[in-house]
């Protein structure tokens, strides 16, 4: 393209000011149109088509991050460590003992030896013997077997307290124990093979 072609004088003038016709370079105009076409496709893919929404991408990333996190030793909402630590709190144990005497004794015996419900002092557990598992059993209950889901009557703190109290009953060998039920588990609650 010669200068003569580019700088053609346009046929109007304003107060003696004249204007050249300087067309935009072809490559620039090309890119301009390509971006417009691209934006239409992009918009259609994400708004109308199968493109994931911002929220879906965020949730997928959060799931990935959660999967990468090392598995916390929790069952349900409360960690084994927190419940074990609670076994050292005199206040929590007193509260747990009171709850046990008031609500659990009729089926589990005054010392946890078991009557209608299983023995809670031995190493055998139907629903898992880790503190978190015991917490979950108390919370959700086993309604079809007559064990109440205590979350309707006890707060999470109260359930934690009674879980801690049950932890202290283990190995106490009270008289007239109910025979073992379920699986034998180690002191840390892991299954024995
Ligand atoms: C109406 C009777 C009843 C009452 C009251 C009751 N339980 Fe139970 N509980 C049961 C029965 C029955 C089972 C056995 C469920 C099964 O075999 O699946 C059980 C199971 C359990 C287990 C699981 C034992 C295992 O081997 O896995 C725990 C822990 C427990 N109860 C704690 C409690 C606590 C704490 C309370 C009081 C807040 C309580 N229970 C009150 C009847 C009762």
CB of 125 within 6 A of ligand 1: the answer is: yes
Which pLDDT does position 5 carry in this prediction? Answer: 53
Distance 86 CA to ligand 1 centre (A): 20
Cβ atoms within 10 Å, residue 111: 18
Ligand 1 pocket test target in 108, 115, 141, 162 with most atoms within 8 Å of CB: 108
Query: How far apart, in whole angstroms, are the C-alpha atoms of residue 44 and residue 36?
Result: 12
Task: Read off the pLDDT of residues 38-54 as tens digits, 9 standing for 90 and up.
Answer: 999 999 999 998 999 99
- The answer to whether the beta carbons of residues 104 and 161 sit under 8 Å apart is no
| Ligand 1 atom nearest to CA at 150 | 38
Q: Select from 95, 101, 88 the least CA-distant residue to 131.
A: 88
Task: Read off the pLDDT of residues 126-175 as tens digits, 9 standing for 90 and up.
Answer: 999 999 999 999 999 999 999 999 999 999 999 999 999 999 999 999 99
Query: How far apart, in whole angstroms, are the C-alpha atoms of residue 179 and residue 114?
Result: 9
CB of 150 within 6 A of ligand 1: the answer is: yes
Contacts of residue 94, Cβ cutoff 8 Å, sequence gap at least 6: none
Dihedral of CA 64/68/74/79: which sign?
A: negative
> Would the pLDDT of 58 be above 50?
yes
Average pLDDT of the residues in 15-42: 93
Mean of all residue pLDDT scores within the chain: 89
Query: How far apart, in whole angstroms, are the C-alpha atoms of residue 37 and residue 8?
Result: 31
Confidence at 1, pLDDT banded by 50, 70, 90:
very low
Which pLDDT does position 108 carry in this prediction? Answer: 96
Which pLDDT does position 6 carry in this prediction? Answer: 53
Q: Select from 163, 189, 161, 177 the least CA-distant residue to 111.
A: 177
- The answer to whether the beta carbons of residues 156 and 150 sit under 8 Å apart is no
- The answer to whether the beta carbons of residues 117 and 107 sit under 8 Å apart is yes
Query: How far apart, in whole angstroms, are the C-alpha atoms of residue 80 and residue 63?
Result: 23
Query: How far apart, in whole angstroms, are the C-alpha atoms of residue 133 and residue 126?
Result: 10
Which pLDDT does position 7 carry in this prediction? Answer: 65
Distances (CA, A) of 136 to 92, 133, 158, 185: 18, 5, 13, 17
Query: How far apart, in whole angstroms, are the C-alpha atoms of residue 76 and residue 73?
Result: 10
Which pLDDT does position 8 carry in this prediction? Answer: 81
CB of 185 within 6 A of ligand 1: the answer is: no
CB of 88 within 6 A of ligand 1: the answer is: no
> Would the pLDDT of 100 be above 90?
yes
Which pLDDT does position 189 carry in this prediction? Answer: 65
Distance 10 CA to ligand 1 centre (A): 95
Average pLDDT of the residues in 43-71: 89
Which pLDDT does position 79 carry in this prediction? Answer: 86
Which pLDDT does position 75 carry in this prediction? Answer: 45
CB of 117 within 6 A of ligand 1: the answer is: yes
CA angle 10, 13, 16 (to 5 degrees): 135
Task: Read off the pLDDT of residues 77-99 as tens digits, 9 standing for 90 and up.
Answer: 588 888 999 999 999 999 999 99
Ligand 1 pocket test target in 130, 147, 159 with most atoms within 8 Å of CB: 147
| Ligand 1 atom nearest to CA at 116 | 12
Task: Tell me what percent of the residues of the chain surpass a pLDDT of 70.
Answer: 89
């Amino acid at each position: 393209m010669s200068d003569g072609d580019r700088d053609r004088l346009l046929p109007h003038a304003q107060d003696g000011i004249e204007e050249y016709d300087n067309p935009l370079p072809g490559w620039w105009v090309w890119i301009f149109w390509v971006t417009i076409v691209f934006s239409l496709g992009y918009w259609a893919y994400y708004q109308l088509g199968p493109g994931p929404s911002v929220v879906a991408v965020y949730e997928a990333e959060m799931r990935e991050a959660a999967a990468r996190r090392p598995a916390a030793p929790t069952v349900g909402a409360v960690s084994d460590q927190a419940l074990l630590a609670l076994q050292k709190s005199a206040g929590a144990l007193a509260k747990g003992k009171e709850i046990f005497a008031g609500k659990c004794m009729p089926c589990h015996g005054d010392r946890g030896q078991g009557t209608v419900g299983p023995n809670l002092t031995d190493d055998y557990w139907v629903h898992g013997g880790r503190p978190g598992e015991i917490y979950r059993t108390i919370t959700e209950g086993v309604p079809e077997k007559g064990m109440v889901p205590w979350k309707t009557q006890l707060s999470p703190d109260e359930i934690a307290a009674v879980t801690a109290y049950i932890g202290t009953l283990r190995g106490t060998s009270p008289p007239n124990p109910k025979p073992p039920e379920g699986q034998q588990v180690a002191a840390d609650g892991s299954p024995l093979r």
